[in-house]
Chain A
Amino acid sequence: MVENTSKVKRNANDAKTNAEAERSISAKSKKIYPREVHGLFAALRTAGVASLLGFFYIVPWLQWDGRQALLFDLPERKFYIFNMVFWPQDFIYLTLLLIIAALGLFFITALAGRVWCGYACPQTVWTETFLWIERKIEGSRAQQMKLDKAPNSFRKIRIKFSKHFLWITFSIFTGVTFVGYFSPLRELAINFLTFEIAPSETFWIFFYALATYGNAGWLREQVCLYMCPYARFQSVMFDQDTMTVAFDETRGLPKGPRKKTVDKSDAGLGDCIDCTICVQVCPTGIDIRDGLQYQCIGCAACIDACDDVMDKMGYDRGLIRYTTEKILLGGHTEIMRPRMVVFGLVLLATIAGAFYSIVTRIPVGIDVIRDRNSLYRETNEGLIENVYIIKLLNMDKQDHTYTLTAEGIPDLILKMDVTDISVKSGEVVELPVRVQVDAYNLKQRSNEISFTLNTVGFEKLTATEEARFLGPAFR
């Protein structure tokens, strides 16, 4: 099927130039073998990859106060971040964090293009690592292509086997580490090595390993092309002042091969010698000389590659470089433009707000659950009674004693079996309580009441929660 359509396509494309036709087909199927690059940006990327991977693999091993420093304990429903503990009730902070991350990404993108993609995106980070392993095992770009073309042989199978073996081992290691953010890694690692791991953890380890292996080993640039939403709306965030990787057409064209000894102006040529090295190094397989494309992840591999060529030819570096559209058109670029100022201010305000609310967070929580079995009942004294379960959360680092009050209906009586409500640090206590009122004080069937929790000795530690009090339909 696919074969057929591409043949039809090819016929239909006859009118187009060869190069164009080849490109549209290659975009579909051809495997990309990025050539290795050296240079300033390659070094920066290696630094980025090494520090981010180091961070990812080391952090879950850190301990704090006798527990894992960074742990999203899903079974216990508590998130530990160094000395702070977050609860599902603190969901708002997660939302804030995501908003800050998104704003930060907008800001950086408007300023400097897709630097995130080129240096810090997990997809790039793991793909680079997998490429590195591949190069260690299979050799250079040319050797890899030759190997793939060669018929199966013992040598080919051995090489392929070693590569996949290393990839898979590394992926599983990644999977264990990933699950270690959610389930204490020290135990997990021991259980893993002794095959005593719980089924759902096993499942997630292999699921994550498979995702790593598939995304970094096989899909690679396809993830950027088809899975990444960010790549698709880059045009919304870019403007003429955004820094991007670009080919300087005025300087480079007309392109063409020439001997180093030939004077380019005599030959009527620009600086581009059409060696296509910039295309060979590109991890997404595009030709940057065609202009800005959404496939470009801004990795600057082509800059490093072309600078090398320029050095060899004795031309100035920077035929491909980080620049802005305005500069290429002969203008100059403002960094402090309105868009940046607005993005920057919103970003700062959100960070400040999040910081403030975390610092002033009240470490006590209350949750009211109505007893679902009965709407209400009448007591022997003729009062209307509702039953609730009050959940008290002590999110503080010390134990506390609390008092509970309720209000909202005149002459409301709050009854509970315990008198002293003490909750240990980091614990939840469930307290059954009964609220009784005189039916004459009920204006309607469903009435609003509120429970307030006060901490003995700490006036500021208080929390209030609303609830419904149900009674008979009256009058």
Chain B
Amino acid sequence: MDDIPLIQRVIAIIWPSFITGGIATVLFTVAFDPAEIFIDYDISRLGIYTICFFLFWILGAITATATVYFLKPGETINR
């Protein structure tokens, strides 16, 4: 795994999760009108979309980080 450049690993974490975050946001906001869910808060729809997107993105990035971490070949662990 050490021959995967750092930049490639960073990209593997933040980039696919960015895409899935975007898709999840679109699907979520098509299915539910967020203004109805957050009706009690004083926040614009665009603001809700933004927050939604970041939550999904962070969630995806956590998953991707775990994936990249567990990708390390077995024989190189604990040595």
Contact = CB atoms under 8 A, between A and B. Distances in A.
Given A28-B5, A222-B11, 7 more contacts: A9-B3, A74-B45, A77-B45, A201-B46, A222-B7, A225-B8, A226-B12
Q: How large is the interface on A (under 10, 10 to 19, 20 to 34, 35 or more residues)?
A: 20 to 34
A200 B30 contact: no
B47 interface: yes
Contacts of A183: 46
Q: Is the interface of B mostly helix, strand, loop or mixed?
A: helix
Interface string B24-51: 0000011001000000000011110110
Nearest to B32: A88
A91 B45 CA distance: 18
A88 B31 CA distance: 8
Nearest to B14: A227
B44 A198 contact: yes
Given A75-B44, A198-B44, A2 B50 contact: no
A226 B3 CA distance: 14
A294 to B, nearest CB: 14
A198 B48 CA distance: 13
Interface of A: 2, 5, 9, 27-28, 74-75, 77, 88, 91, 182-183, 198-201, 203-204, 219, 222, 225-227
A222 B6 CA distance: 12
Contacts of B29: 88
A198 B43 CA distance: 11
Nearest to A8: B2
Main secondary structure of the interface of A (DSSP, over half): helix
12 contacts: A9-B3, A75-B44, A88-B30, A183-B46, A198-B44, A198-B46, A199-B47, A200-B46, A200-B49, A226-B8, A226-B12, A227-B15
Contacts of B49: 74, 200
A203 B3 CA distance: 36
Contacts of A2: 6
B11 A75 contact: no
Contacts of A204: 50
A201 B50 CA distance: 9
Contacts of B3: 5, 9
B11 A227 contact: yes
A226 B11 contact: yes
Contacts of A5: 2-3
A254 to B, nearest CB: 32
Nearest to B15: A227
A183 B47 CA distance: 13
A457 B44 CA distance: 38
B12 A200 contact: no
B5 A75 contact: no
A226 B45 contact: no
B11 A203 contact: no
A2 B3 CA distance: 10
Interface string B48-61: 01100000000000
B47 to A, nearest CB: 4
B17 to A, nearest CB: 12
Nearest to B11: A226
A9, A75, A204 pick with most chain B CB within 10 angstroms: A75
Residue among B6, B33, B44, B46 having the largest count of chain A Cβ atoms under 10 Å:
B46
